[in-house]
Chain A
Amino acid sequence: MAEKMELRDVEVWDGNMAAAQALRQAQIDVVAAYPITPSTPIVENYANFLANGYIDGEFVMVESEHAAMSGCIGASAAGGRVSTATSSQGFALMVETLYQASGMRLPIVLNVVNRALASPLNVNGDHSDMYLGRDSGWIQICAFNAQDAYDLALCAFRIGEDHGIRLPVMVHQDGFMTSHTAMGVRTLTDDVAYNFVGEFKPFNAMLDFEKPVSYGVQTEEDWHFEHKARQHNDLMTKVHPKIKEVFADFKKLTGRTFNLVEGYHMEDAEVAVVAIGTAVKTAQVAVEKLRAEGVKAGVVGIRVLRPFPFNEIKAMIKNLKAVAAMDRSSPNGTVGALYNELAGVIVQMDKAPVMNNYVYGLGGRDITIAHFMAIFEDLKANAKAGKVQQPLQQFINVRGPKLSFLSQE
């Protein structure tokens, strides 16, 4: 039996420790890992817990991230609770196996501490790796601080492992600004956390020799499309209700509320930014200042990136006059991915807000309250004119002359 750990009601943890503690409390059977900055401490802390008797399970050290996810796939198919962590280049190397995991319907939980992709090499935070996983068939849930990273990792097991879902889940947190920023995290006791996550119930376990099954089979033109269609169908129809149910249970247990999309002052907002990660929090400080000046400003935080909460966002932004899509990844030749996602929503609205796009924070570059105040100045002008008054896409806080694209003149 694993030993219990005594936790204070509030522990000062960074996002990495928060995620590692959630993994410990979920009592994972197998972690196969190849550590990479800035997610290294998640598996490092986990290995420490295991070595000190706080976990009954296996820690498998492998030779690459491709092997790490492959090991997770094998262990998950065998019939165990499985998790790991990665970032950036490691995530990129995992990509091939990510599609395997979701296609085989294996409920692995992957903690992704988001970091820039080389080249140039950079260890700091942005969302390039998160965006790389968009079409991989995984559920993607986004933490905005260390508390979220803890809470959502616990929720992730409940969501992915449900026999009606059986899909892998990524829990994203910002490299360094969440992963290495300590804050007071409200904890659950080991028993309460484990009871919430629940005991792992295998489904078609390969180690169940009474009932032999095959994983990773080949299907050609005859069946491939049906398998992909079924996976997409489940993502589109079953996952959101399950996430809502788990979030509701979590709220009952802790009082902490999560939604598919988080809105701050969105009830009567006329201008708003849409963002992911720590920027959602910083934007709220700007919104508080603007509200004090009488500006009806709001923030939309994308909590669940996949499946994309299309209708929930549509409802939340229906009264906006102007909105900005904040992308923390270089689109390298088009508008930002979040802009594109939101454009899909807006084109279906009767009274659509005007929308523009900002690229910010690449490779750990700061986004400040002052930057958000300037963005809201643009949005106020756009709302007043009823059309975008700047080039559609602007880069924020980058050296040299102001960089912008897609002038609408």
Chain B
Amino acid sequence: MLEIRWHSRAGQGAVTGAKGLADVVSTTGKYVQAFAFYGSAKRGAAMTAYNRVDDSEILNFEKFMKPDYVLVIDPALVYSSDITKDEKLDTTFIITTPMSTQELIKSQPKLEGRRVFTVDCIAIAQETIGKPIPNTPMLGAFMKISGMYDIEFFKEKITKVLGKLPQKIIDANMIAIQRAYDEVK
């Protein structure tokens, strides 16, 4: 079972990102789960979303998770949320930040010794989609680091998930996904 935890602010699209990923994975015949913790969260409040992926039916409905991947799509959450909570020895962190990986670890020493990758999804989204919605670029970065799917295959599938959006927005998302794929380090 592959398990992913997203750290986001309400309104940044972590739930849409998690469901979009589930949608793509589901088309390949795997079993998926995507959920989030809401509470009465207002826009901007720190929140978490989750993915599970497996080859057989997912029976596990506990909220508790020891994630294989932690995807952080807001730069400040590295300091204000417990992003290493319930980590495993080999948990991989992909973090949105304008900093380099080295600078980030220096600014948040608890990431020391972890498998950390960085990419500026906020800047990429601003420059391509025109809005600071970092969810789709994060999926591009995740494809690169996890090697889950070939990026062209992923883009083709996610295009269908985004289906109802105007073509211009879909195109911008594809550029954002590709850029994050290329730029994550």
Contacts and interface: CB of A to CB of B under 8 A. Distances in A.
A159 interface: no
B60 A282 contact: yes
A281 interface: yes
Given A180-B36, A181-B35, A282 B22 contact: no
Interface in B19-66: 19, 22-23, 26, 31-36, 38-40, 58-64
A183 B38 contact: no
A369 B65 CA distance: 11
A281 B62 CA distance: 9
A281 B64 contact: no
Nearest to B161: A12
Contacts of B59: 281-282, 284-285
A12 B161 CA distance: 10
Nearest to B160: A8
Contacts of B62: 282, 366-369
The size class of the interface chain A forms with chain B is 20 to 34
Contact of B31 (A177, A184, A278, A367): A184
A183 B58 contact: yes
A184 B26 contact: yes
A187 B64 CA distance: 29
Given A123-B40, A181-B35, A10 B26 contact: yes
B39 A123 contact: yes
Interface string A270-284: 000000001101101
Q: Identify which of B61, B63, B64 gathers the most chain A CB atoms within 10 Å of its CB.
A: B61
Interface string A171-183: 0001011001111
A123 B36 CA distance: 14
B35 A366 contact: no
A91 B26 CA distance: 34
Nearest to A367: B62
B32 A182 contact: yes
A282 to B, nearest CB: 5
A370 B40 CA distance: 28
A174 B39 CA distance: 15
Contacts of B22: 12, 182-184
A181 B34 contact: yes
A343 B58 CA distance: 32
Nearest to A146: B33
Contacts of B35: 14, 176-177, 180-182
B61 A182 contact: no
Interface in A334-373: 366-370
B34 A369 contact: no
B47 to A, nearest CB: 12
Nearest to A264: B59
A176 B40 CA distance: 12
B33 A182 contact: yes
Contact of A279 (B32, B33, B39, B61): B61
23 contacts: A12-B26, A176-B35, A177-B61, A180-B38, A181-B34, A181-B35, A182-B18, A182-B19, A182-B22, A182-B32, A182-B33, A182-B34, A183-B22, A183-B34, A183-B58, A184-B22, A184-B26, A278-B61, A285-B59, A366-B62, A369-B60, A369-B62, A370-B64
Given A12-B19, A282-B59, A369-B60, 14 more contacts: A10-B26, A12-B23, A14-B35, A123-B39, A176-B35, A180-B35, A180-B38, A181-B34, A182-B34, A182-B35, A279-B61, A282-B62, A367-B62, A368-B64
4 A-B pairs closest in CB distance: A278-B61, A181-B35, A368-B62, A182-B34
